[in-house]
Structure 1
Amino acid sequence: MNLRYTRGDDHVWIGYFRSPALEFSQPRAGWDAVYTLGVLRVLPSLQIASGGFAGGSLALEAGTTWFGGGGLGRTNLRNYANLNFDPNDSLTLYGGYRWDDADSVVLQLVRDNRLNPDQQNLHLIWRNELAGGERFTVDLLAKQGTVEDRFIRRAGLSFNYEWRRWFAKLAWDPLVNFTPQNMVRLSTGMRF
């Protein structure tokens, strides 16, 4: 469960994760923003969770139509249920093309640079706005790295559709966070 507040380019969220299968639950909160300085953008984020978890990231992006960027993520290595494809302790490099503020294609490499440096995710992300303000995002994932002493290569996919008030996201994440577990995630919500 997640509650998110957006004001301009700042986002604050609080959430709660629970997995009966893993016998694990975790309250969490975070903040992220985009600061624009001409053609340069600074993208910081912070997150905290129960059990003493703390993490953050900082990325720099440059360009308008053609753009590129890179970033670094760090945590204090406390237990955390990561709900995205990518490791939190990582180096990220990306580049892409933006038709306008809502339409873009991006190639992004996220590589663990702390505990498991052979683990990496390569994303091809397409965002598109449709007539009437509806939008969709497709994220094709190629992952590789060691899972329980064996090297793997897998493909994943997520599809996000946004109406004016509602949104839905479906994701297939094989060997989620480089564990033996496969995950299908369905997220839905509304704006108010």
Structure 2
Amino acid sequence: MLSTLITQWENANLAVFQLFGKLVAQSANPAGLPGATTDVRAWRAFVRTALQSTQQYTSATQSAFDAGWREQRDRFALPGAAAAIKELAAINADLATRIAQGHVQHTGALTDAAAQYLDDLSRSRNATDAAMAFGRFANDMQAQSRALTLHTSSVAGSVSPAITQWVEKHLSDDDTEPAK
């Protein structure tokens, strides 16, 4: 890359020196010297040459900068990085969705268990019926908490393989990349 930059730098400087030579040749007889006459066409040509040299130098510099930028941009492999970020975000969104669904189901089940408990409690005839209703309620709570724990464990267990696969796909050393 450095040799390319040096070559472009040399070409730009050569173009500037050639245009400077034209500029000096066109302004060899400037106004104000004894015996010299003012030549408006020579000054127009001088200004035109100066503008052309500025434009050519600016164009060469911009072209060299753009070529260097494109080379560096291509080295970064930005489309691949963008795809990797999108895949990681999808893994995260899937994880969050599955955990949220588990919590919603758990909350619904706890609400149903509490409603059933209150319904059983309203039909109880004595303290023994109330104690049995509470036992059913406690059993339902334990079963729902166990179900949530199993669901959360299942989701957590699936994260590691997904992240490992993502890392292997996007962060591994790629030996097939061409040497530059």
TM above 0.5, yes or no, is no
TM-score normalised to structure 2 length = 0.14
TM-score normalised to structure 1 length = 0.13
Q: Higher relative contact order at CA 8 Å, sep ≥6: structure 1 or structure 2?
A: 2
More helix by share: 2
Higher-Rg structure is: 2
More strand by share: 1
